[in-house]
């Protein structure tokens, strides 16, 4: 029954994007729909690790730590993963204060690069896309934003 519902949902779609960093339901969607299915987290992690690049993740949500580690391992990228850095304030507080969000994410990104040796840093979470764009100008390390990474992956899959 679930598979039929997923197929009906995907009917008429050229591809599907799973819009949550932990990529919930990705495997089920791939098995049931027959169209390219791309997850935000998977696309960002693969893009960051491309060419053997050591990468880290900076995010605001401590609750993502376990699923991020599991996803990195499941994708076979653990040997390139330098670790996770978190902002210090609660995600809810940061979402109400964009300047503080940007400052704290910048510190997390710099820690990924300087302390952990990352040469690319994924900003963990689709809603942090605007901050990711701003961080590109503020940080020397390559910043990977999940939504654009997933869009590039969909284009690659549909073009190839």
Tens digits of per-residue pLDDT, 41-96?
A: 999 999 999 999 999 999 999 988 999 999 999 999 999 999 999 999 999 999 99
pLDDT of residue 114: 98
Residue 35 neighbours by CB under 8 Å, 6+ apart: 10, 13, 14, 15, 16
Helix 40-49, helix 65-74: angle, nearest 10 = 60
Is pLDDT at 1 greater than 60 in this prediction? no
pLDDT of residue 160: 77
pLDDT of residue 24: 85
pTM, to two decimals: 0.93
CATH class of 40-148: alpha beta
pLDDT of residue 6: 72
In the chain, list all ranges with CATH 3.40.50.12500.
Answer: 40-148
pLDDT of residue 39: 93
Tokens 């690069």 belong to 113
Place 29 in a pLDDT band, splitting at 50, 70 and 90.
confident
CA–CA gap between residue 94 and residue 15 (Å, rounded)? 33
Biggest alpha carbon distance in the chain?
50
Paired residues of 17 in beta bridges: 38
pLDDT of residue 25: 85
């Amino acid at each position: 029954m679930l598979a039929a519902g997923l197929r009906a949902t995907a009917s008429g779609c050229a591809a599907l994007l799973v819009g949550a960093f932990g990529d919930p339901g990705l495997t089920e969607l791939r098995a049931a729909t027959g169209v390219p299915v791309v997850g935000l987290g998977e696309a960002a992690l693969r893009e960051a690790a491309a060419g053997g690049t050591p990468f880290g993740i900076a995010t605001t949500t401590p609750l993502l730590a376990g699923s991020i580690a599991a996803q990195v391992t499941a994708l076979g990228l653990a040997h390139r993963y330098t670790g996770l850095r978190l902002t210090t304030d609660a995600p809810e507080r940061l979402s109400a204060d964009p300047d503080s969000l940007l400052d704290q994410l910048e510190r997390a990104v710099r820690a990924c690069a300087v302390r952990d040796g990352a040469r690319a840093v994924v900003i963990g979470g689709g809603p942090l896309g605007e901050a990711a764009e701003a961080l590109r100008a503020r940080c020397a390390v390559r910043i990977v934003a999940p939504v654009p990474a997933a869009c590039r992956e969909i284009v690659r899959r549909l073009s190839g």
